[in-house]
Amino acid sequence: MFYNNPLLIKLKKKLEKKISTVEIEGTVKSTKKEFGFLETNSHKFYFLSPKEMKKVMHGDKVKAEIIFKNNKEIVFIRKLLAPSLKKFIGRIKKKKNIFYIIPENLLIKRTIFCNKKNNMSKMFKEGDWVIAKLIQHKLNGYKVFFAELLEFIVNSNNPFYLWSVILSKYNLKKKEPSIDIKEDIEFISDELNRKDLTNLEFITIDNDNTKDIDDALFIQKEESNKIKLIVAIADPTSYILAGSKLDKSAEKRAFTSYLPGFNIPMLPRLLSENLCSLCPNKKRPALVCEIIISQDGNILEKKTKFFTAWIKSKKQLTYLNVSNWLNNIGSWKPSSDSIAKKLILLKKFSLLRLNWRKKNNLVFKERLEYRFQVNNIGEIINIYIEPRKIGNRIVEEAMIAANICAANILSKKLGFGIYNTHVGFDLKNTKFTVKFLKKYGIFFDSKKINTLKGFKKLYLIINKLSDNYLEARIRKFQAFGKISILPKPHLALGLEAYATWTSPIRKYGDILNHRLIKSIIKEETVKKPKKSILIKINEQRRKNKMAEKEIQNWLYVNFLKKIDEKDKIYSAEIIDIYKNGIKARIIENGAYVFIPLFFLHSKKNEVVCNKEYGIIEVLTHIFYRISDILSVTIVDIQIDKKNIIACPI
């Protein structure tokens, strides 16, 4: 009856004109509520209804269709391009004998059902943390999300469960390497004629709980006010053959993971804390560097010697005791006059070298370091500021000197090695840095600023100005350090080349440099390390830092949550400016806090957050800058998100 009605046909055509469609691709973004957004590559955001969000997870890359109807945009997700979850970490839940998993990523608010195998109730329990693999996604035609359980990580009853979860997240080892003592541990002669230095009075200076001691020092006066420093470094390559099972394990780990509460060694503890550790009164193999320091603090390169030796440390000292005694604090004193004289000479050496480096290289301002006190059940007890003391500086200057010597011999004798490098500023930041400096009347060419001479000149100027904001802003523009096979400058140290070999118990790159230095001693031909090793070392270093930072953030929120923070006032340094607020660090304990924009000024349209310049302006006037110190109170601690929200007062 109405099928051919002309009025209805006309109305239908009119409605169709008001409806059009457009296809887009983007990434799903969840919110605290049930709705979400689709972010395109051009950073446009489209609203996703709760119904559409049930089809997807946060981070999914999808193809969608926008229907424009009566001046409204309605987004329908049509196809999955790439899931955000593939292999992931989650926590087991059980309800009415049905197992499902909650992803560790809090933004993925999804119940994911998982497989139920025979005896599964015995294998996995409520609260267990596991590694799983997503095998069914709703956008692929399935009714539910479904995952396959791959690996057990840790039970939630374990007091250090979070450490295990985060280490698994970054694919880092949770235990020391397993070894067969009979097959894997055997001293290797290396065909080297080791000198017997066991009669020399070597000492070690470390933290009071250090077991993996990798350096010992001997010092004495020479003629013409020169100083002879002998740096003896633990020699794990005397037990580990290149290409062996232990060597491959160390290469894969690349570093010892130092975490609040404990460490996971790169080498088996039998080696790192026993056979190779330079423990007091134990005869140990060592790779040794003999350095002659002139009366003005210069290293006399031509007199530097590398050789292998046997040593026996006579005393294990601590940074704290050494520093206090040298500063006439406390009751501790050296056990003999000879050790006392050596400590006084070591202090003189460290000051000579520090002054030399300030004049000829670069020495950056010291940053506060923090130490976490964690008990044996994973509870955070306290957080301490750990200032750099003279005892720390003695060891630091000795190691820097030894690493400079290693870089020199590797560069001249081989032309390759494992070098720590620093290029100065990222290429993308170089032009902006030059533009930024012009505001201060500091003029640099964008090419010269990233040369050793140009970078040193820049920091001499910055240090004279003593402008905290300028120094902090310039530091933000700098690139991260990298590892290189070829000798390249380390601009942050102001050196032509820098190669570490002083921590072979803890760093695989130092093991490689040990082998290269030994090849020079033996006058053997040796192959250049493969680039693939560099990739592994750089990646493992990145993952170790991320894991350590994530664990620290978790400890911070738990530490501050358990103490009464109401009305307590902290001093906090602004370290970054975001478009929606400020990131600052509490000076007292090192905790990072976020200060939302609405706490800074009530009228959002009057505020400009300039991330590049690190400033916040209100009505064109600068109110906040990075490096500024604010007084803040903590207003909220979000344990699940590891966030601490603060408000300025």
Catalytic residue positions, numbered: 206, 212, 214-215, 319, 506
For 320-379, list the strands marked E by DSSP.
370-374
Q: Is the dihedral of CA 263, 264, 267, 268 positive or negative?
A: positive
Q: Which two tokens stand for residue 591?
A: 């905790």
261/258 Cα distance (integer angstroms): 9
* CB atoms inside a 10 Å sphere around CB 575: 16
Residue with tokens 């109170």: 633
**CA torsion, ordered 99, 174, 172, 250, to nearest 10 deg:** -150
The whole-angstrom separation of Cα 500 and Cα 190 is 21
Closest C-alpha to 615, from 629, 600, 626, 631: 626
Closest CA to 264 of 377, 176, 159, 179: 176
Q: Which helix (H) or strand (E) holds 497?
A: none
Q: What would the two tokens of residue 52 be?
A: 């559409």
Question: And the tokens for 130?
Answer: 């596991």
Q: Got the DSSP string for 152-171?
A: EEE-TTSTTHHHHHHHHHTT
Structure tokens at 104: 């560790």
Nearest alpha carbon to residue 361 among 502, 464, 460: 460
Structure tokens, 127: 């609260």
Query: Pairing relation of β-strands 202-206 and 305-318?
Result: parallel
